[in-house]
Amino acid sequence: MKIAVFGTGYVGLVQGAVLADAGHRVICVDVDSAKIENIKQGVIPIFEPGLEQLVRENYSLGRLHFTTDGKQAVVESEIIFVAVGTPPDGDGSADISHVLNVAETIGKNMNAYKVVVNKSTVPVGTADKVRNKISAVLAESRASFDFDVVSNPEFLKEGAAVDDCKRPDRIVIGTTSKKAEEIMRELYAPFNRNHDKIILMSVRSAELTKYASNGMLATKISFMNEMANLAELLGADIEEVRQGIGADSRIGYSFIYAGAGYGGSCFPKDVRALIRTAQSLDYPVQILNAVESVNDAQKHRLLELIDRHYSSSKNAGDLNGKTFAIWGLAFKPQTDDMREATSRVVMEGLWQRGARVQAYDPEAMDEAHRIYAQRDDLVLCDSKEAALKGADALIICTEWKHFWSPEFDDLHAQLSDRAIFDGRNIYDPDKMKQLGFAYYGIGRGQSCVENEIA
Residue 234 CB partners (closer than 8 Å, separation 6+): 445, 448
Is residue 264 within 8 Å of 332, Cβ to Cβ?
Answer: yes
116 touches 297 (CB < 8 A) = no
8 A C-beta contact, residue 302 and residue 344: no
Instruction: Give the SS3 label for residue 149.
Output: strand
Q: Which of helix, strand or coil describes residue 2?
A: strand
Instruction: Please enumerate, as own/partner, the contacts of 287-294 that have beta carbons within 8 Å and a separation of 24 or more.
Output: 287/219, 288/215, 288/219, 290/222, 291/215, 291/218, 291/219, 291/222, 292/222, 292/268, 294/222, 294/225, 294/226
Interior angle at CA 123, CA 120 and CA 127, nearest 5: 70
Out of 28, 266, 381, 397, the active site residue is 266
CA distances from 270 to 5, 121, 258, 274 (A): 22, 8, 20, 6
Q: Look at phi and psi of residue 425 and say left if phi exceeds 0, alpha if psi is from -120 to 50, else beta.
A: left
Torsion from C-alpha of 47, 378, 403, 163, nearest 10 degrees: -10
The total of other beta-carbon atoms located within 10 Å of residue 270's CB is: 23
266 is catalytic: yes
Distance of CA 157 to the CA centre of its chain: 7
The answer to whether 115 and 85 have CB atoms below 8 angstroms apart is no
Can you tell me the distance from the alpha carbon of 274 to that of 194, in angstroms, rounded to the nearest whole number? 34
Task: Please give the helix or strand (H or E) that residue 291 lies within, else none.
Answer: helix 286-298
What is the rounded distance in angstroms from the CA atom of residue 386 to the CA atom of residue 379? 10
Q: Which residues contact 409 (CB under 8 A, 6 or more apart)?
A: none
Positions annotated as catalytic residues are: 266
